[in-house]
């Protein structure tokens, strides 16, 4: 019988850089660790278009991929660990090329302690909420200002001191004992093959990763070379925040081997691995989060999910999301990673990691794309999943990004010229965005001046293809934070002394408003054709809102259009949709609250919540957008066509990979049919019609897993409209990306 100490020595050999994989396999063989395992094929269906079978070595998959390429992946279990014994590709009926042999799948994890932040506690205290353990546990998972790996951080905007009576909320400074590191440990003795439409998953239970336990799953999709690697696992610890890295090791270091990437200046870079063995992973700050490995005459790309991989940050600086490692003179590794801190001192406290409530099934995903293509074509094939990190132009629509903290007015004043070009907007424009919404927060002593420079500077940055549309974020009077969207320049100050009229004349800026109450704000909004959105509901400075003002006069006004939609404020990787636990349920809640009021449904506005921008920043990965139904941009300082489109709900929000060019609800009476055109890049997962009656939200969910990657389809989904008050439509892909239309009222 093998002793535990023998097994530990074997595991050490596997994880030690510099030990060739062939030597590891020999060691495994000597320890009699190889297993003959047949996968359970009971849930496999050959109609998937993917051939799955059990061989003497283990499970095998054969499928047709991208551009007539065919792929064959042979898996085996060695010492309880699933390995890719071989991955072969060929063009049509050509000869097979063995791209990978005896390759391992690595996962590493770093865990810390999740705390609630002062920023969340302040509005709760103002609302008189008793800060019990249950309240802390409810809100801490949606934290923004938290940095569990930063042992230097003290109180401030970040975490609070110990809360009285709340034993599960320790204070600061943090303890090094809170940080735990681990690598994946395999104890696999069985597997199962599961078909789901045009995809096949092979699941290997018996995996631990730090405090998490679960399974490794490999998924392939008919019609594409894309391979999804995933640890699906849960922790039972009470306050876990974590990050993970994924790797593929055992790549052959052949004469033509190299790693290649594009740097943040879009320049091509490569390394032929001629140097010494690396002691650990070498971080790469690659544009578009893509690293290519060339080996054995082919290539394989490594990249993360484009959006779910990122928790909320206040800047989009690329901190290096890829890595390579030379393990020996015969093999090397590649993968994806998350860094351990922000690179800008001001934002060190904003590195919150993922949230893992006890028992939640966290999806830790990495993607690999093997191909016969040359290096540049391999980049093109990988980048096609995100349209090269550019929001795709769509006939009849303009792409709007909102809530950019660029401090436009203040920065123009500091530059000395209203004509100064700010590079923030050059970067935003390069991502395919047509309308950029800078959300300034002017200082009290220079409020009017900053507003003026914002309005003037916005016009100077705009033309027929790109418009800067000013916005203002406020944190007073209405409850929580709220954004003002302008239809034209409007000047106001946040004070109104007794006897001061609501509207006065300023000697330099002309008409201006003096704001001292919610009634003043709504009067200005009505008179000046403005809209209000709450940018980050139920978290940050809006924790407890808009719920706390749901019956207020300001909320019960059609000019209060809704709330902001952004993932990552509480990045829980058990979500199936972006912001599945915070914003999307709130959208449905709000519209159920409004049933019977005669008001039109509330909506979402895609927001970013990020500050300064520079070339090379990950604009696309960190921000959703709004596709507005507009044939052309307005001109000058007239933003009213944008306001009109937002007010009417004539738009959809999206992460970028899933688009909804058209949709309608047809029929009459109790039975209606949703008809929607959807296009996507990553394989689609499901679409849904969601509706509410004022008390309950219901949905019709239709699987779309039978459809291939890079598809376009018109869905027709019947639903029972009897007794329902509102309805919306959404589509979601297998990488967690998606798009949503805005709710519309149903006829009584």
pLDDT tens-digit readout, 513-545: 999 999 999 999 999 999 999 999 999 999 999
Query: Are 311 and 578 within 8 A, CB to CB?
Result: no
Residue 715 has pLDDT above 60, yes or no: yes
Q: Which of 180-194, 337-351, 550-564, 679-693 is least confident?
A: 337-351
What are 35-39's contacts with CB under 8 Å, separation 24+? 35/76, 35/77, 35/78, 35/79, 35/80, 35/189, 37/77, 37/188, 37/189, 37/190, 37/191, 39/190, 39/191, 39/192, 39/193, 39/202
Q: Tens digits of per-residue pLDDT, 570-625?
A: 799 999 999 999 999 999 999 999 999 999 999 999 999 999 999 999 999 999 99
**pLDDT at residue number 426:** 96
Other Cβ atoms less than 10 A from the Cβ of 94: the count is 12
d(CA 638, CA 468): 11
In which band, very low, low, confident or very high, does the pLDDT at 23 lie, cut at 50, 70 and 90? very low
Interval 35-61 mean pLDDT: 94
Query: Are 75 and 82 within 8 A, CB to CB?
Result: yes
Residue from 450, 459, 439, 377 nearest 412 by CA:
450
Cis peptide before 546 (omega within 30 of 0): yes
Residue 5 has pLDDT above 70, yes or no: no
Q: For residue 496, with 0-12 CB atoms within 10 Å meaning exposed, 13-18 middle and 19 or more buried, which class applies? A: middle
Q: Which of 24-38, 58-72, 83-97 is least confident?
A: 24-38
| E strands present in 619-711 | 625-629, 651-654, 659-668, 671-679, 684-692, 697-703
d(CA 469, CA 639): 7
Q: Give residues with Cβ within 8 angstroms of 566, minimum separation 6.
A: 312, 536, 579, 583, 606, 607, 608, 609, 623, 624
Residue 20 has pLDDT above 50, yes or no: no
d(CA 502, CA 509): 16
Residue 3 has pLDDT above 50, yes or no: no
**pLDDT at residue number 173:** 83
**pLDDT at residue number 24:** 43
**pLDDT at residue number 154:** 57
Q: Structural domains in the chain? A: 35-109+182-384 (2.70.98), 111-181 (no CATH), 398-486+529-654 (3.20.20), 656-748 (2.60.40.2060)
Residue 224 has pLDDT above 70, yes or no: yes
**pLDDT at residue number 11:** 32
**pLDDT at residue number 93:** 86
Give, as one character, the DSSP assignment of residue 539: S
**pLDDT at residue number 570:** 79
Query: Are 610 and 562 within 8 A, CB to CB?
Result: no
**pLDDT at residue number 669:** 82
**pLDDT at residue number 34:** 63
Distances (CA, A) of 233 to 215, 355, 361, 481, 580: 6, 13, 5, 36, 19
Average pLDDT, the chain: 93
Q: Which residue has the higher pLDDT, 353 or 3?
A: 353
Residue 10 has pLDDT above 60, yes or no: no
d(CA 658, CA 689): 16
**pLDDT at residue number 280:** 96
d(CA 293, CA 325): 11
Residue 308 has pLDDT above 50, yes or no: yes
**Model-level pTM?**
0.94
Interval 641-653 mean pLDDT: 97
Residue 161 has pLDDT above 90, yes or no: no
Residue 477 has pLDDT above 60, yes or no: yes
Tokens read off for 267: 């320049």
Q: Which residue has the higher pLDDT, 92 or 634?
A: 634
* Half-sphere exposure in the Cβ direction for 411 (13 Å, CA): 19
Q: Tens digits of per-residue pLDDT, 174-214?
A: 899 999 999 999 999 999 999 999 999 999 999 999 999 99
Residue 468 has pLDDT above 60, yes or no: yes
d(CA 69, CA 277): 34
């Amino acid at each position: 019988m093998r002793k535990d100490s023998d097994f530990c020595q074997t595991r050490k050999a596997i994880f030690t850089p510099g030990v060739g994989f062939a030597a590891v396999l020999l060691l495994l063989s000597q320890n009699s660790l190889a297993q003959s395992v047949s996968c359970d094929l009971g849930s496999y269906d050959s109609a998937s278009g993917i051939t799955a079978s059990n061989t003497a070595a283990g499970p095998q998959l054969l499928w047709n991929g991208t551009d007539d390429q065919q792929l064959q992946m042979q898996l085996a279990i060695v010492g309880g660990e699933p390995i890719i014994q071989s991955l072969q590709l060929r063009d049509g009926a050509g000869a097979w090329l063995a791209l990978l042999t005896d390759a391992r799948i690595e996962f590493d994890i770093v865990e810390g302690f999740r705390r609630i932040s002062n920023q969340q506690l302040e509005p709760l205290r103002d609302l008189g909420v008793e800060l019990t353990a249950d309240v802390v546990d409810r809100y801490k998972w949606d934290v923004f200002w938290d940095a569990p790996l930063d042992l230097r951080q003290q109180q401030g905007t970040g975490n609070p001191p110990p809360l009285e009576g709340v034993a599960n909320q320790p204070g600061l400074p943090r303890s090094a004992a809170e940080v735990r590191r681990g690598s994946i440990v395999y104890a696999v003795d069985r597997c199962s093959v599961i078909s789901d439409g045009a995809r096949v998953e092979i699941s290997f239970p018996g995996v631990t990763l730090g405090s998490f336990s679960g399974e490794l799953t490999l998924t392939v999709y008919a019609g594409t070379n894309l391979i999804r690697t995933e640890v699906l696992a849960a922790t039972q610890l009470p306050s876990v925040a974590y990050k993970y890295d994924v790797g593929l090791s055992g790549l052959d270091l052949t004469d033509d081997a190299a790693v290649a990437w594009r740097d943040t200046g879009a320049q091509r870079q490569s390394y032929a691995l001629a140097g010494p063995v690396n002691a650990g992973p070498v971080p790469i700050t690659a544009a578009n989060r893509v690293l290519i490995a060339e080996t054995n005459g082919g290539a394989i790309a490594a990249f993360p999910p484009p959006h779910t991989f990122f928790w909320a940050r206040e800047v989009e600086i690329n901190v290096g999301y890829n890595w390579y490692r030379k393990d020996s003179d015969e093999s090397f590794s590649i993968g994806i990673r998350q860094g351990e801190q922000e690179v800008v001192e001001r934002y060190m406290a904003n590195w919150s990691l993922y949230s893992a409530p006890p028992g939640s099934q966290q999806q830790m995903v990495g993607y690999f794309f093997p191909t016969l293509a040359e290096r540049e074509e391999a980049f093109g094939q990988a980048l096609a999943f995100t349209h090269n990190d550019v929001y795709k132009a769509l006939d009849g629509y303009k792409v709007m990004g909102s809530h950019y903290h660029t401090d436009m007015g203040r920065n123009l004043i500091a530059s000395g010229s209203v004509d100064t070009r700010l590079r923030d907007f050059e970067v935003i424009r390069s991502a395919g965005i047509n309308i950029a919404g800078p959300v300034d927060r002017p200082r009290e002593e220079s409020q009017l001046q900053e507003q003026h420079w914002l309005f003037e500077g916005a016009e100077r940055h705009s033309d027929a293809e790109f418009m800067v549309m000013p916005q203002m974020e406020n944190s007073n009077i209405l409850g929580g934070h709220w954004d003002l969207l302008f239809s034209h320049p409007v000047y106001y100050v946040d004070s109104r002394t007794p006897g001061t009229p609501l509207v006065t004349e300023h000697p330099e800026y002309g008409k201006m408003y003096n704001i001292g109450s919610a009634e003043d704000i709504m009067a200005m909004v009505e008179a000046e054709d403005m809209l209000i959105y709450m940018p980050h509901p139920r978290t940050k400075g809006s924790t407890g809102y808009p719920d706390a003002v749901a019956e207020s006069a300001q909320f019960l006004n059609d000019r209060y259009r809704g709330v902001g939609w952004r993932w990552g404020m509480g990045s829980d990787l058990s979500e199936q949709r972006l912001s599945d636990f915070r914003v999307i349920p709130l959208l449905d809640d709000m519209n159920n609250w409004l049933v019977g009021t005669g008001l039109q449904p509330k909506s979402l506005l895609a927001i970013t919540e990020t500050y300064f921008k520079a070339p090379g920043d990950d604009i696309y990965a960190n921000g959703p957008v709004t596709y507005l139904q507009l044939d052309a941009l307005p001109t000058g300082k007239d933003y009213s066509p944008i306001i009109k489109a937002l007010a009417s709900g004539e738009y959809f929000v999206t992460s970028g990979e899933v688009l909804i060019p058209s949709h309608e609800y047809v029929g009459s009476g109790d039975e209606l049919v949703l008809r929607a055109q959807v296009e996507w890049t990553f394989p689609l997962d499901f679409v849904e019609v969601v509706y509410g009656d004022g008390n309950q939200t219901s949905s019709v969910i239709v699987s779309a897993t039978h459809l291939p990657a890079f598809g376009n389809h018109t869905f027709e989904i019947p639903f029972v409209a009897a007794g329902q008050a509102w309805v919306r439509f959404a589509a979601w892909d297998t990488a967690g990306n998606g798009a949503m239309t805005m709710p519309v009222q149903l006829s009584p």
